[in-house]
Amino acid sequence: MSVIILGIDPGLANTGWGVIESVGSSHRCVAYGCVVTTAEEPLPQRLASVHREIEAVIKRYSPVACAVESVYFGANAKSAFATGQARGVALLALADAGLELGEYSPIQIKSTVVGTGSADKSQVAYMVRVLLALPDDPAPDHAADALAAAICHAHQRGSAAARTRLANAAAAEGRR
């Protein structure tokens, strides 16, 4: 069964998004892009832009699930706070649409897509290109990260479905 999954890499200046179609363990890229805001814009307008554009992506591609990268709280708390605000308005758009949500750390996403949680951005973009059979690395890197999040969610959904099938088969076997 085909499933459309939206991935989001939140950020105040750049919120990457990517849409994939997943069938079993095969995935194809439907579309990707980046919501860009500038520091000259007032914060409320920047957040409104992120919300509005994510809503438009949802309406255009009709995903049933979404993967969002969690916020990394490194040394720059101000940057993390701004990213958290952008992530919040993206989550609001997802909630309004009633989408299934998966939240993944950068390490989880990199581990799923590249095989190591310490992968750099170029490795993530390369593997996204390979996994989705794209002619070039997706750009900007925020869009590549969003596609990686969508791939991660597709794998997690597949793993959960496989565990459910195994549990159901074991239960059926036990009833015999």
Residue 111 DSSP symbol: H
Q: Is 153 a catalytic residue?
A: no
Nearest alpha-carbon partner for 52 in 101, 86, 20, 29: 86
Our answer to whether residue 69 is catalytic in this structure is yes
Specify which residues 4 forms β-bridges with: 21
> 100 catalytic, yes or no?
no
- Placement of tokens 């920047």 in the chain: 46
C-alpha span between 69 and 6 (Å, rounded): 11
Rounded Cα–Cα distance for residues 170 and 21 (Å): 30
User: Are 149 and 109 spatial neighbours (Cβ–Cβ below 8 Å)?
Assistant: yes
Q: Is 40 exposed, middle or buried (0-12, 13-18, 19+ CB in 10 A)?
A: exposed
**Catalytic: which of 21, 53, 69, 145?**
69
Catalytic one of 9, 21, 141, 145: 9
Residues catalogued as catalytic: 9, 69, 142
